[in-house]
Amino acid sequence: MPEVWDDEELLAALGEALAERQAVPPEFVQAAKNAFAWHNIDAELAQLTYDSSRDADLEPSTRAETASIRALTFTSAHVTIELEVTQDSLLGQIVPPQPATITVQPREATETTVSADEIGRFSIRPIPAGQFRLHCRTAINADALTGWFTL
Amino acid sequence: MGDDSSVSALVARVCDGDQGAWDELIDRYSPLVWSICQRFQLSRQDIDDVGQSVWLLLVENIGSLREAAALPGWLATTTRREALRVLRVTQRHDHADLPPDGQMPVDPGSATIEEDLIVAERNAALRAAFAELQQACHDLLSLLVADPPLTYADISARLNIPVGSIGPTRGRCLGQLRRSPHLAGIIGDDAPHANVRGGRR
What is the spatial distance between Cα B60 and Cα A133, in angstroms, rounded to a whole number?
17
pLDDT at B199: 41
Cβ distance B20 to B28 under 8 Å? no
Residue B153 maps to which CATH number? 1.10.10
For A93-119, write each residue's pLDDT tens digit.
999 999 999 999 887 778 899 999 999
Supply the pLDDT for residue B140.
96
* Pick among 1.10.3470, 3.10.590, 2.60.40, 1.10.8: CATH of A41-146: 2.60.40
Question: Which residues span the domain enclosing B49?
Answer: 1-93+104-130
> Do the domain assignments include residue B13?
yes
Q: Do A147 and B56 make contact, defined as CB atoms within 8 angstroms?
A: yes
The C-alpha of B125 sits at a distance from chain A's nearest C-alpha, in angstroms, of: 9
pLDDT of residue B147: 87
The CA distances from residue A54 to A58, A70, B44, B46, in Å, are: 10, 10, 15, 11
Q: Output the pLDDT for position B166.
A: 95
DSSP string, B125-192: HHHHHHHTS-HHHHHHHHHHT-SS---HHHHHHHHT--HHHHHHHHHHHHHHHHH-GGGTTTSSSS--
Identify the H or E element spanning A32: helix A26-34
Reading chain B (201 residues) residue by residue, the pLDDT tens digits are 334 557 788 888 998 889 999 999 998 889 989 988 988 888 898 899 899 889 988 988 888 887 777 787 789 889 988 998 888 877 655 444 545 444 445 566 667 767 777 887 788 889 888 988 999 999 999 999 998 899 999 999 999 999 999 999 999 999 999 998 888 777 764 444 444 444 444
The answer to whether the Cβ–Cβ distance between B31 and A12 falls below 8 Å is no
pLDDT one-digit tens code per residue, A53-80: 775 544 444 444 445 678 999 998 889 9
The size of chain B, in residues, is: 201
Residues B39 and B107: their CA atoms lie apart, in Å, by 8
Residue A11 pLDDT greater than 50, yes or no: yes
Does B77 fall in a domain? yes
Given an 8 Å threshold on Cβ–Cβ distance, is A16 in contact with B193?
no
* Domain of residue B55, CATH code: 1.10.1740.10
Tell me whether strands A121-124 and A90-95 are parallel, antiparallel or unpaired: antiparallel
pTM over 0.90: no
Q: Tell me the percentage of chain A whose pLDDT exceeds 70.
A: 88
Interchain pair B130, A11: CB under 8 A: no
Query: Which one of A7, A28, A38 has the shortest CB-CB distance to B59?
Result: A38
3-state SS assignment for residue A92: strand
Closest in B14, B92, B189 to A57, CB measured: B92
B33 and B124 fall within a common domain:
yes
pLDDT, position A117: 94
